Amino acid sequence: MIASPAKKSITAGCIAALVCLAAFSTLYAVRPASAHVSKTFGSVTVELGWNTEPALTGQMNAAQLTVFTGSASKPTPVLNAVAGLTTTLQYGTVTKQLEFLPSPTVDGQYLAPILPTKEGTYTVIFKGTIQSQNIDTTINLDDVASSDIVNFPPTGSGSVPTGSGNGTGLSPDVASQLGGIINQLTGDIDSAKKSADAAAQNSAAAQKEVLDAKSSADRSFMIAMTGIGVGAAGIAIAVIALNRRESKTIQR
């Protein structure tokens, strides 16, 4: 069966269209998705998203809230915007109060630290007022993904790459079991290292506090000693002056 030229051109057109569609989709996919959601209430606009994107489980992140008035192209940051606002983080049926603190880099931006522990949708519930404007809304943060997409080597694989024929003389089953054990041990070591780092940090902080206290005590001691010196010198001078006066009186 031979295709007619008309059919050929239709097929070619379809293929071209599909290629264009695929190319468009690919381009769209690689563009960073703007996961920050904006909502406007009167003259106030609130914008919410993750501070670091994409948000992954087990990775420290923060909800980033930006509040401004005016247009998005020429925004005026709202200072102290969260003072009259109650913010709650919700995951499923579990909720937690969020504490937004001013960003150390951008006016009118506030960060609430979150360590997402599970994949899925996290919602922030806003209730209160900003610049006398009532705010009562919920905004979903971009879905949290599993950190497995960036983990390497994968923690859940339970095997160690052994190469072809593995060259160890071990059966694949034994190698697999050993791999699992090694992975477990690696995890334990990482965990222990983190604990040790935290302990070291605590120790350093405690040491700093002790040093500060010592420095303060030393300063106080110096002041006390100076005081003693001045007091003693004053009394010694007074005694000498009295003695001289007495001897002069006797001489007379």
Partner 1 sequence: MQIRTAASLLLVAAVSFGMIFSAKMAYAHNFGGDESAAYLAKVQEVPVETHAMLADIGNPDLLSWHFDKINEYWNANDTKEMNERNALLAKNIPDTIQSIITEANKTTASPDTVKQLVDKLDGYMAESVSVRVDAPKLQNLTVNAQAIKDVLGEVMEGYGDATNHSSSNPAKIVDQAPYQNAKGLASAAQTMWTELKAKTPSNVSSTTISTLDKAFSDLNTAIAQNASDSTVVSIANQTIASNFVTVYKTEAVPEFPMPLTLAMASLAGVIVITRILKLKRTRVPTQADE
Q: Which of 53, 107, 143, 148 binds partner 1 (CB under 8 A)?
A: 107
Residue of 102, 128, 179, 180 that binds partner 1 (CB under 8 A): 102
Q: Are strands 44-50 and 37-41 parallel, antiparallel or unpaired?
A: antiparallel
Structure tokens at 72: 């998005």
For 11, the enclosing helix (H) or strand (E) is helix 5-30
103 forms part of the interface with partner 1 (CB under 8 A): yes
* Structure token pair of residue 94: 């579990």
194, 208, 227, 244: residue in contact with partner 1 (rule CB under 8 A): 227
Phi and psi at residue 156, to the nearest 5°: -95, 0
Residue number, 16 or 239, with CB nearest to partner 1: 239
Single out the residue of 93, 105, 117, 164 in contact with partner 1 (rule: CB under 8 A): 105
User: Among residues 10, 19, 211, 239, which is the contact residue for partner 1, using CB under 8 A?
Assistant: 239
Q: CB neighbours (10 Å) of residue 129?
A: 15
| Paired tokens of 130 | 């900003």
Both structure tokens of 167: 């060259």
How far apart CA 232 and CA 210 sit, in angstroms, is: 32
Q: 162: which 2 tokens?
A: 């052994």
Tell me the window of 2-10, 44-52, 155-163, 229-237 that interacts with partner 1 (CB under 8 A): 229-237
Please state the closest distance from residue 209 (CB atom) to partner 1, in A: 9
Residues that bind partner 1 (CB under 8 A): 79-80, 82-83, 99, 101-107, 213, 216-217, 220-221, 223-224, 227-228, 231-232, 235-236, 238-239, 242-243, 246, 249
